Structure 1
């Protein structure tokens, strides 16, 4: 393999990305710090893309079945798709899918939760320039979305998910856009897995326990034992330390600990304070720990924080992981776009069908502007789209954030409180039906309730758009754009910050 002449240019671009560039947030709170006694996981997905909800059923596969993974020539760091063996059985899972990131083949996912209560979050974490420069072209291997999906399909525990990622990279290679992390959690623990570019199969993983809080934006791992292969709290590729020694990036006799971020991470920044919006990972971790014992509603507020959730946040997710839950009863709260302006709706893995308004639409879908609609999707496209509806809410409320943001978010909280008030009877009823051998009726109940709340959310969105439009039009008038470019040209994106100057240090708020 040879290195493309564009890789050096791309590496330079990656190294100079704005700290507020697309990266996604992930939150982990250990079970000793939560109200329920279960692990809490939350996060956003930050891509310029359409996002839609999918509940993927379990499936059986033929012995010789394969699946395509990797990246194509269209990717920012070009590659070629490869085929890897399918497993005989894949698990049911829920995720938000999206259509585009760095030219990777759709549909993509940042993760979600599966029937064994393994939750996955994907978070950007770029590496040092030298690793990006040495990435082969064309690159081959599993990429970040493949790994998230394969963990959901194949892992029964978080540790199994980490081992699966290591095995897939060792057998098939890793295709990248500059480096990535995954947060993989189950009802007992979580792991941060960092996969590196460079074509060397490098990866590292750190365990998070019941008393830990971790926020990834971007993802990071710091001090790492040199005897990690004999330590149950750490995992990594066989060459993790030896390759760093070979390159002169780490001296085992220096007396300094092996710090993964300092050795392999971006060299012009810091692990917990180097890349963020208006709150660093360190500040978010401290603020989250101070909330203990943390409830699901607390986590929703953490993910919704207007210093985090904006136009770049394609959706919000919050899930509690607890032992002894029937697979149909695994519940996750999902906001259809940035939750600063959108309500969370509860979904269970027992839900049998997603309403058309939360399914895939052409809004922000890659290629939509250059192709006519597939007739098979005509009715689905004719339906209102949750992603578009709540983007409208966001764009209105960010016009007058000091007035609109508190008002809208009070209404979102009120809507969500209705759902929290109902959760008890809905889940008690479904569990009773399951115990009576009426699982199909339990699934129908869960489907009916989630669909009803999704439809109610759409009605709330319509009410908000109409009300905000009327207020804007009648009180201050409709502001017209002053420029001639409808797309962002590298400046500040739409957000709902009040009193914040984007040109000042990002932790000023």
Structure 2
């Protein structure tokens, strides 16, 4: 099994060197009856937390969407009409992916209780080859942001994506998907390369668990227009037939992944080892935790078999019906959560600490430009993303020794936050009900800032302790080569898998033998 697994891993990352993953847990499977969503973005560039206020826009307002000629698949930017009003939302922003223009987002959560996750998909080569040059239309980040800004339900978010693609087109890097959820349901949306306006969506219900890595939809009804659990472009079935990617007279049902996505080796939509756990194994592990709590999903998101140097942040959110928008809460880890704490933030929070805002570390063009004076003070602060990257690198140098200690500290820190939630949210709700909304927002802001500051202190303490231990015990080593940047295209990044080396036979990998027993 594992030689093929390793081949699939390397095949996958020769196609996509950065990606993202997402979890969906239906409300019948959660401890508090909410729909739960979690995941991360896997981009090299800097990540920072940002809260976007609701806004009213003049009738002639426009926004710029699409990709430039510098993108991996070149395109041309275009302007489209802005909505008269956009909703408040929280997002982890980042500065670069495949040359797309910054700032970018994988999603977040809006005041309407809509959570969005963006996840990679690799479309078949024939579709990629059909893509116009230059391509025009909204790209994955544009679509995620528009759903957060304009959708009042998850279903409406899917419809918005379909409308935008039909009206303006779609620009991409070889395929993509989105997970969109509200307090009632979730949707997986796949958008295809090729410039043909192809997209498909499948509804996720109360009993469903879905892990996207990559995003996938399998069997899909040919009469989907008459089925409320599916949506898609009018040509999603007919185009596959025309290209010979599905035979309507054959014995196999129409399958979106088989028709439109990359096939190879022994991997399928749910199996094959795109990470060190397949989507199927992750789904089964999440389902086995039912009823799932926020702590449980945090553990799944930070699982060291899927959270590594590629994970730019972590997010977990519970979506409840009839909640005050100010009290919508999302847990965010500032970088890969395998060695970084999740902090609680609410949509009512008035600001983000400068230490969690944008910094030059890993920001596009930082190596060739000097600092803009406007960012002088913010750049002078510690950067949460950098601090917890340092924790990651030391921890993963000897994960059998360090990882249990570091994660115990993270759990202890997060448990302290969880223990405060009831009185913080009850107090904020009471203030709102008594007409003291500003005081409620001040309370939420104070608490989120306080925990974020304590998280930074924890991170600095862990870095100093690990640094001292590694050096005093003689474990520190200088680099043996001169190449500081990983070459990508299947090369392995820093991770907490003990002794894993993708160039060695699978049977010689001690952690994989352990994982084989666990799985």
TM-score bracket for this pair, using the shorter chain length: over 0.9
Matches of 1:17 and 1:209, distance apart in 2:
31
Superposition pairs of residues 4-403 of structure 1, within 5 angstroms: 17-18=13-14, 21-268=17-264, 269-403=267-401
- Note if contact 1:20-1:275 (Cα within 8 Å) is conserved in structure 2: no
Deviation at 1:267, TM superposition (A): 2.2
Q: What is the rounded CA distance, in whole Å, between the counterparts of 2:147 and 2:236 in structure 1?
A: 22
Deviation at 1:171, TM superposition (A): 0.1
How big is each residue's C-alpha offset from its partner over 1:35-91, in whole Å with a ceiling of 9 and x where there is no partner?
010001000110001000001000000111000000000100000000110010000
Of 455-464 and 250-259, deviating more is 250-259
Runs (4+) off by over 2 Å:
14-21, 498-509
Q: CA deviation at 1:284?
A: 0.3
Q: Please tell me whether the aligned partners of residues 308 and 494 of structure 2 are also in contact (alpha carbons under 8 angstroms).
A: yes
Equivalent-residue separation in structure 1 for 2:243 and 2:116 (angstroms): 32
- For residue 20 of structure 1, report the CA deviation from its aligned partner: 7.8
CA distances 1:219-261 after superposition (whole Å, capped 9, x unpaired): 1100000000110000000000111111121221223210001
- Provide the C-alpha distance between the structure 1 equivalents of 2:251 and 2:285, rounded to a whole number of angstroms: 33
Q: Does 1:449 align with 2:447?
A: yes
| Whole-angstrom distance in 2 between the partners of 1:53 and 1:179 | 26
Q: Deviations over 1:128-161 (max 9, x none)?
A: 1100001000000000000000000000110000
The unaligned stretches of length 5 or more in structure 1 are 1-13
After TM superposition, the score normalised by the length of structure 1 is 0.96
- SS of residue matched to 1:223: coil
Partner-residue secondary structure (3-state), 1:24: strand
* Cα separation, 2, equivalents of 1:23 and 1:156: 27
Residue 464 of structure 1: how far off its partner (Å): 0.4
Question: 1:409-437 CA deviation, whole Å, 9 max, x = no partner?
Answer: 00000000000000011000000000001
**For 1:468-507, what per-residue CA distance to the aligned partner results, in whole angstroms no more than 9, with x for missing partners?**
0000110124211111100002321000112544345697
1:275–1:145 CA distance, 2 compared to 1 (3 A): farther
Q: What is the rounded CA distance, in whole Å, between the counterparts of 2:142 and 2:421 in structure 1?
A: 33
Cα distance in 2, alignment partners of residues 499 and 295 from structure 1:
32
Q: Any conservation in 1 of the 2:78–2:137 contact (CA below 8 Å)?
A: yes
1:500 and 1:168 map into 2 onto residues whose CA distance is 44
Confirm or deny that 1:416 pairs with 2:409: no
Contact 1:20/1:277 (CA < 8 Å) preserved in 2? no
Aligned residues: 496
Deviations 1:166-222 (A, max 9, x none): 000000000000000000000011000000000000000000000000000011100
Unaligned runs of 5+ in 2: 1-9
Q: 1:15 offset after TM fit, Å?
A: 7.4
Q: CA RMSD in A?
A: 1.4
Question: Which residue is 2:493 aligned to?
Answer: 493
For the residues of structure 2 that align with 1:63 and 1:54, how far apart are their CA atoms? 26
SS at match of 2:37: strand
Is structure 2 residue 456 aligned with structure 1 residue 458? yes
Please give the alpha-carbon distance, in whole angstroms, between the structure 2 residues aligned to 1:53 and 1:97.
Answer: 6
8 Å contact kept, 1:61–1:88:
yes
SS state at 2:485 partner: coil
- TM-score for both structures, normalised by structure 2: 0.94
Cα deviation digits, residues 450-474 of structure 1 (max 9, x gap)? 0000000000011001100000110
